[in-house]
Structure 1
Amino acid sequence: MIDRPAIAAARQQLVARPDFLRTTPLMRLSGRSLGVDCAEVWLKLEHLQVGGSFKARGMLYRLLANPVPDSGVIIASGGNAGIAVAAAAQALGVRCEVFVPEVSPEAKRQRLRALGAEVVVTGAAYAQAYEACVARQQATGALQAHAYDQPEVVAGAGTLALEIEEQARRLPDSVLVSVGGGGLIGGVAAWVESRARVIALEPERAPTLHAARTAGQPVDMEVGGIAADSLGARRIGALGWAVSQRHVHDALLLPDDAIRAAQLWLWKELKLAVEPAAALGLAALQTGTYRPAPHETVALILCGANFDPASLC
């Protein structure tokens, strides 16, 4: 189980690399300015993190906490985790190989190559890319990083919530978290525990946590939709699932059109260019899928920005 001491330990190692990780801004706005009937909305601008997503935290910690062989590090990723591993590997001077599914955007593949990673495109979805990655790791002995289901990855993600609490000098009343494989919500919920509500948000076409809660255990799902490149894991990770059973208040679903509308709103109104996965929190507020109380402070995590900005036009 990932817990607050594990996240604090991750933070200790990560702050030793201030040349790599960034302390991302916390934008605090009135609920009214976003058209929401609540006291405040906090936007954690994690899309400004190294590599363009929160993944840099867990991936750097994975590499710092383990010896990396000459064959380097290897990962299967829809894009963001691979970019984070590639950036960390470049900073540490180690080799990196990334397996991406065919659904991954070309913009993310180009970014991986620019960071010096060897990119292998294989499989229609993440699951097939992951199988190919495992076979390659067994042949080379490279250190394998997992996009969302390793203790270092989840604990590293949890440092984001720790940072929010430090910046605001308190926790919000609720935190809305986009969910793919469960690494981010596992880390956030493990830090927050019962001190605030943690709400999981998923696209209707990629409901892995919602389906697991309904079934009482992780189950495989067919996934697709606007955010599939980031939130397209077919099954919730074991670590994220374990934490969510204890500390996640609810799991809500959002349609693609609401996610897209929120993504465009963030750009047009706040000039924040984020990928669809980062827009679920605002979509939940704008659609009333999550209805905060008038006195409530809500935190949204803008988790990534690895997409083609031309799509905002």
Structure 2
Amino acid sequence: MSLANQLQQACWFVTLACARHTAAIAKGDTMPATLLPTALLQGLPLLWHNPARQPAAQALATLPYGAADIAAAIARWQRFAPLLAHCFPDSVAADGRIDSPLLAQAGPGGTVWVKADHALPVTACIKARGGVYEVLCQAETLARRAGLLAEGSNYALLAGDAARALFARHTILVGSTGNLGYSVGVMARALGLQVEVHMSSDAKAWKKDRLRALGARVVEHAGDYAAAVASARQLAAADPQAYFIDDESSLLLFFGYAAAAHDLKAQLDTAGLQPTPACPLRVFLPCGVGGAPGGVAFGLKCLYGDAVQCVFVEPVASPCFLLRLASGDDALSVYDIGLDNRTLADGLAVPRASATVAGLVQHLVDAVVTVSDDSLLAEVRQQWQQHGLRLEPSAAAGFVAQRLAASQWPQQVIPLVWTTGGHGLPDEVFLPLLAG
């Protein structure tokens, strides 16, 4: 970045800071606005501690949602279990649960734990926890309205002829860079729902191809993720038979992800791991718009309180959640500070964070780490060569962040990296990443 561009960015943000400070004074708020970190503006990796982070009990007490909402999502997942086992007998266990293994990696700094959602059943990505869940919730709603689903019914009947005839008259729309669209598409098509996925320019061709192979309609956009979402939202609003899955503001997605915290707790208990405030669980969560990491972080804070630290990880070119947390401004995008939102981590290529999620977790996120594309590629190779993990660049982000945090944020912790996608990468996409 040129000196002129750096000066331009600095002047721009000073202007923004002054405007925000003036507005704060007008509202009687004496909290001064702060400037963004220089490394963020320059597109350099950094570890940023969230100054707005509060003790978990204090932050959670102010929110309109809590542990009861997560318990309701878990109960709903359990009702869907027979349907999932019926629809995906080759990938979902007989109990119908969608979960991933907890792995241990030995290293020079000790054991790093891996929540392997890159190998999650049905979709091989974390979006199964959100996208699959919201499609199931909509199918449940449609079936109940039509009188096909009585209280206590076995939900496997949603795969029957009557339900499929009903679902065929309805369409699910979603905007995506790839993995959410695929998760929505897989579940919707399994039930006979029509699917329309609006894909950003960042989306990979192979992700579009596999959606078309499912029978989904793929709409390609020259713009970014935000443009794809906006288009899908507008079209769905005009069609009474359409349902829009809104990655930017859906609470169903959020709680689908939040339920995963209970899956992890059961695995940690089995492994004999009991986080405490003195030795917390430090979880690294790749972050795009924020729904998946936000939901998981919310679930973990509800369970563990201050015995867990939640660290979001973003590409240096797309640090939208860090920008939102640091500025407090929902309207800001990474373009506004001179970054281009171009990254190999296509699943994280999002210019503006979810205002809904940021509002819920802004006091729960402990830190954000930004990582470079070069480090992601190196990590993809290392994880394959040393541990046999087939990851896409987005899913490798947590490993890079964990090492940076270990060097700059020394503390006795239980480190855990949450991988998010990659097991489904075709050879023609994965092998070039290794050769790079």
- TM (normalized to structure 2)? 0.66
Residue 101 of structure 1 contacts residue 126 of structure 1 at CA under 8 Å; is this kept in 2? yes
Larger radius of gyration: 2
1:86-125 superposed matches below 5 A? 86-125=185-224
Residue 296 of structure 1 deviates from its aligned partner by 2.0
Give 1:258's aligned amino acid: S
Aligned residue in 2 for 1:304: 421
Residue 107 of structure 1 deviates from its aligned partner by 1.2
Change in CA separation of 1:174 and 1:183 when aligned onto 2, cut-off 3 Å: same
Q: Confirm or deny that 1:14 pairs with 2:77.
A: yes
1:234-245 superposed matches below 5 A? 234-245=351-362
Give 1:45's aligned amino acid: A
Give 2:291's aligned amino acid: G
Residue 283 of structure 2 contacts residue 311 of structure 2 at CA under 8 Å; is this kept in 1? yes
Give the stretch that moved more between structures: 59-68 or 40-49. 59-68
Residue 288 of structure 1 deviates from its aligned partner by 4.8
The one of 273, 289, 294 equivalent to 1:186 is 294
Aligned residue in 2 for 1:54: 126
Residue 395 of structure 2 contacts residue 420 of structure 2 at CA under 8 Å; is this kept in 1? yes
Give 1:80's aligned amino acid: N
Give 1:167's aligned amino acid: Q
Residue 258 of structure 1 contacts residue 287 of structure 1 at CA under 8 Å; is this kept in 2? no
Distance in 2, Cα, partners of 1:65 & 1:17: 9
Residue 402 of structure 2 contacts residue 415 of structure 2 at CA under 8 Å; is this kept in 1? no
Residue 299 of structure 1 deviates from its aligned partner by 1.0
Give 1:266's aligned amino acid: Q
Change in CA separation of 1:220 and 1:48 when aligned onto 2, cut-off 3 Å: same
The one of 363, 382, 390 equivalent to 1:246 is 363
Residue 130 of structure 1 deviates from its aligned partner by 1.8
Aligned residue in 1 for 2:56: none
Aligned residue in 2 for 1:147: 247
Q: Confirm or deny that 1:211 pairs with 2:283.
A: no
Distance in 2, Cα, partners of 1:40 & 1:296: 10
Give 2:366's aligned amino acid: H
Residue 237 of structure 1 deviates from its aligned partner by 0.7
The one of 344, 361, 383 equivalent to 1:266 is 383
Give the stretch that moved more between structures: 170-179 or 189-198. 170-179
Give aligned pairs, total: 307
Residue 79 of structure 1 deviates from its aligned partner by 0.4
Aligned residue in 2 for 1:226: 344
Give 1:226's aligned amino acid: L
Residue 149 of structure 1 contacts residue 181 of structure 1 at CA under 8 Å; is this kept in 2? no
SS of residue paired to 2:103: strand
Residue 40 of structure 1 contacts residue 296 of structure 1 at CA under 8 Å; is this kept in 2? no
Distance in 2, Cα, partners of 1:46 & 1:148: 21
SS of residue paired to 2:385: helix
The one of 28, 31, 47 equivalent to 2:104 is 28
Give 1:143's aligned amino acid: Y
Deviations 1:165-190 (A, max 9, x none): 11111456211111110111211111
Distance in 1, Cα, partners of 2:411 & 2:366: 19
Deviations 1:96-116 (A, max 9, x none): 110101221011111211222
Residue 25 of structure 1 contacts residue 44 of structure 1 at CA under 8 Å; is this kept in 2? yes
Distance in 2, Cα, partners of 1:123 & 1:8: 40
Sequence identity of aligned pairs in percent? 26
Give the stretch that moved more between structures: 273-282 or 107-116. 107-116
The one of 161, 167, 170 equivalent to 1:71 is 170
Residue 59 of structure 1 contacts residue 153 of structure 1 at CA under 8 Å; is this kept in 2? yes
Aligned residue in 1 for 2:311: 199
Residue 93 of structure 1 deviates from its aligned partner by 2.1
Deviations 1:211-253 (A, max 9, x none): 11221232222312121x2012221112320232121111121
Residue 286 of structure 2 contacts residue 397 of structure 2 at CA under 8 Å; is this kept in 1? yes
Distance in 2, Cα, partners of 1:290 & 1:273: 26
The one of 239, 264, 267 equivalent to 1:164 is 264
